[in-house]
Structure 1
Amino acid sequence: MNPPPIDVQQFLDENRFSPYQWLILFLCFLVVAVDGLDTAAMGFIAPSLVTEWDVSKAALAPVMSAALFGLAIGALTAGPLADKHGRKVVIVASVLVFGVASALSAGAWSLWSLTAFRFITGLGLGAAMPNTVTLMTEYAPRRKRALLSTLMFCGFALGSASTGFVASSVIPMFGWRSLLGLGGLLPVTLAAVLMLTLPESVRFLTWRAASSAEIARILRKIAPLPAEETLTFHLSGEAGGHSRSSIRSLFSEGNAAGTWFLWITFFMGLIVVYLLTSWLPTLMKESGVPMPQAAVVTGMFMFGSMFGTILMGWLIDRFSTYVVVSISYGCAAVSIISIGLNPGDVSLLRVLVFTTGFAMGATTTMPIVAAQFYQIHCRATGVSWMLGMGRFGGILGASMGGILMTLGLSFRAIFLGLAIPAILAACAMGLMGVYYYFRKGNEPLSEVFEGGDKVRKALGLQSKVPY
């Protein structure tokens, strides 16, 4: 008699988080860390470019936004590819692309050559992040999914924060090209490691009806399995298939409203993040703060984001996601206003920028929220399209800093205006929660709202079977 089929998600939920899963988390952590380092690099080399190439700050706008255009296009294309061909192949290829392109950026001879190389770098970056989030989500047990995914995503904050400290050391000694060269060497080396050690998503393999031997080989690295050669595997609540359009699914199966709310929230959040990471050193320098101190203060933003992301991951596993994220964005708006009201106090700015980064950790959790919201057949697409659409907010934020400074707006005016997108992000996520709690005849779609069980029971609502 053949043994009953093994539910892969139930297997992951019932067993402890194994050393093999920690390895997967660490590898994904390294991917987003080098992603964060490269993404933040341009903010630290911008003052050197202005001096060395004798260009205006406004002329740097194409360079600052080129990678973001690449990020958007890379994310929009990588998700459907990963939902069709698998997460691992897209991750490895994308890391290799942005590593090589970053190394080429170090040899740029003009603004336009640097812009072209940064665009190619963005293509790789945009493809890497959504698929690492998706892969980590699909290897994590439900009870710790948000926390483990946010721990992995802290690599981005750590990489971005480290850029400030690395930049303050290497740029004065070796010039701005050294930072981009380092940003190329690390991911190229990492791509080789990933090719040898990173597994494909076992949930994706199960959904695509891969061989039982391949699935069993991966699961045995997590926990023991019966020795029978006739083992079979399945995913509860997910039918295997190949014909459904992952893009079309974002606007069907009850996903449409959530898709729009996720896009708006992430778009607004990235306006704030990219204006700060791209232009805060220059803004502070213009207000009279020495560049080394400005770099350290900017680094505090990403360190704050790292700690805030960990806390929010813990909270999301226990409480309603929309409440956690909405409150966080609201707190970010208050902190941003406080920065604008205190432009000259460097000691206070360190605290306020750290606090802002802590609250803006909500933006870092958004790919995790999206990964939990969408079904497996469109999950990589859902995460990557949210990232892709949101990147246009990043493009706006990265471009508008130089433009606003050229127009002569003060430090205070820029930061008071920057509070507006943070407030809009808080409202969008709050409305998403209200919609999925109260829409007539429907219940929350997935575990993104699992923390709200007590509220749901009080309202007489029942939870849908999670993905």
Structure 2
Amino acid sequence: MADGVDVTILSFIAPRLQQDWGIGANVMGNLFSAGLLGMAIGGMLIAPTADRLGRRKLILAALVLMSVGMLASGLAQSVSQLFALRVVVGAGIGTVLATMAALAAESAPEQHRNLAVGVVQAGYPFAAVFTGLIVAQLLPVYGWAAMLFGAGLVTLILIPIALLILPRSSAPAALTGRVDAIRIGALLSPNYRARTITLWGAAFFGLMVLYFIVSWIPKLAIQAGLSETNGIYAGALYNFGAFVGTMAMSVLAVRVPLGRLVPTMLVIAGVAMLVFGSMTMSAPTTLLVAFLIGVFLQGGYNGIWPLAASVYPADRRATGLGWAIGVGRSGAIIGPMLGGYLIAANASLPLLFGAYCVPLLLCAACVFAVDRLRRHALPNT
């Protein structure tokens, strides 16, 4: 939930921030990408240490990093300061995403592993819904800086809660004598190479599309004819759809193979994106389509993480998830940044959404491939 607040709040305040600082869509795209750069750093460089130090320590350290970064973001006086602080926040988020997915996979019974990891991922859009609703009411009164500071306070409150709840012994038992588990080479060994590369492809292409939508949907909804407040509501409805879709995916994953479920949801998301970008609709219909994009895009994409948790054994799970998240964040960096440049170049909405359907289909193909590779792997590999 802290991830959902800290990531999406920038998209909700983006129109007001651009107005107050007089910055264009290309600069705003760079600010969106700053947090994603931090997530790549957290996922690839920090999260893998959870396979040595345990999940609890890394999650707590990441929450501290996120809190400090968000509180300081509310005091930023320039684009460069805010960019640097978003990198700090992102590093904490990238660490938490990988570490908590690994912890959920290890804590749940095997038959409910996909459900457990999916439910954890649903916290992100669930919190983002309320973030959008609250920001829509408070932003006109208190301004964007207060919104960032408030998000930092929310994250700070979670630290003592995490201290009480997180298990003290949360390092995989299989770590004994396995120093090589924290090395990237372990993920690219012959038994894992094909699965790792296709998983990276799924994360890269999926996050490229997802963060384009997450970052720009309030702005694009306004461009499609909605007011600023309704544009923020469109972002909130997208995230509500993401929560509904993620929960639906988690429940269905107990019965339907993820290799079929996830690509199907992503293809439907592509259809909804094309409708959003190419058809003139009333405000209620525009909000409904934003909701449906959330259901099938983020609901489908979040199915990648239960699948990823099943690709690797416990001794390299946080490393595998961390690197998948890190590689995926490079796609997430490109997505909003490219969108910003296209918007600044006055690209039409049909062109924008049509262009992003291409990586969405590539993501679906990679998910299908990694599931087949996992199913045909030899036992204990």
| Bin of the TM-score, shorter chain as denominator length | over 0.9
Q: 1:201 to 1:345 in 2, by over 3 A?
A: farther
Q: 1:307 to 1:39 in 2, by over 3 A?
A: same
Equivalence for 2:256:
319
Q: Could you tell me which amino acid in structure 2 is paired with residue 206 of structure 1? A: A
Which of 275, 281, 289 is matched with 1:352 structurally?
289
Number of residue pairs matched?
379
Equivalence for 2:354:
416
Residues 54-453 of structure 1: matches in 2 within 5 Å?
Answer: 54-200=22-168, 202=170, 204-208=171-175, 240-246=176-182, 247-252=184-189, 254-360=191-297, 361-437=299-375, 443-444=376-377
Deviation at 1:444, TM superposition (A): 3.2
Deviation at 1:343, TM superposition (A): 4.3
- Alignment check: 8 A CA contact 1:68 1:394 kept: yes
Q: Could you tell me which amino acid in structure 1 is paired with residue 278 of structure 2? A: L
Q: CA RMSD in A?
A: 1.7
- Alignment check: 8 A CA contact 2:47 2:94 kept: no
- Alignment check: 8 A CA contact 2:118 2:305 kept: no
Q: Which segments of 5 or more consecutive residues in structure 1 lack a partner in the other structure?
A: 1-32, 209-239, 438-442, 446-463
Q: TM-score, normalised by structure 2?
A: 0.95
Secondary structure of 1:296's match? helix
Per-residue deviation, residues 236-288 of structure 1 (Å, max 9, x unmatched): xxxx4233243221112511111111111111111121111111111222233
Larger C-alpha radius of gyration, 1 or 2? 1
Distance in 2 of aligned mates of 1:92 and 1:264: 30
Task: Between the two structures, name the one with larger relative contact order (CA 8 Å, sep ≥ 6).
Answer: 2
- Alignment check: 8 A CA contact 2:304 2:367 kept: no
Distance in 1 of aligned mates of 2:169 and 2:98: 13
Distance in 2 of aligned mates of 1:287 and 1:325: 29
Equivalence for 1:17:
none
Per-residue deviation, residues 1-57 of structure 1 (Å, max 9, x unmatched): xxxxxxxxxxxxxxxxxxxxxxxxxxxxxxxx0111110011111111111112222
Q: TM-score, normalised by structure 1?
A: 0.78
Distance in 1 of aligned mates of 2:239 and 2:169: 29
- Indicate the percent of aligned positions where both proteins have the same amino acid: 28
Distance in 2 of aligned mates of 1:249 and 1:159: 35
Deviation at 1:436, TM superposition (A): 4.6
Per-residue deviation, residues 105-138 of structure 1 (Å, max 9, x unmatched): 0000111111111111111111111101111111
Deviation at 1:308, TM superposition (A): 1.2
- Alignment check: 8 A CA contact 2:204 2:330 kept: yes
44-53 or 189-198, larger mean C-alpha shift:
189-198
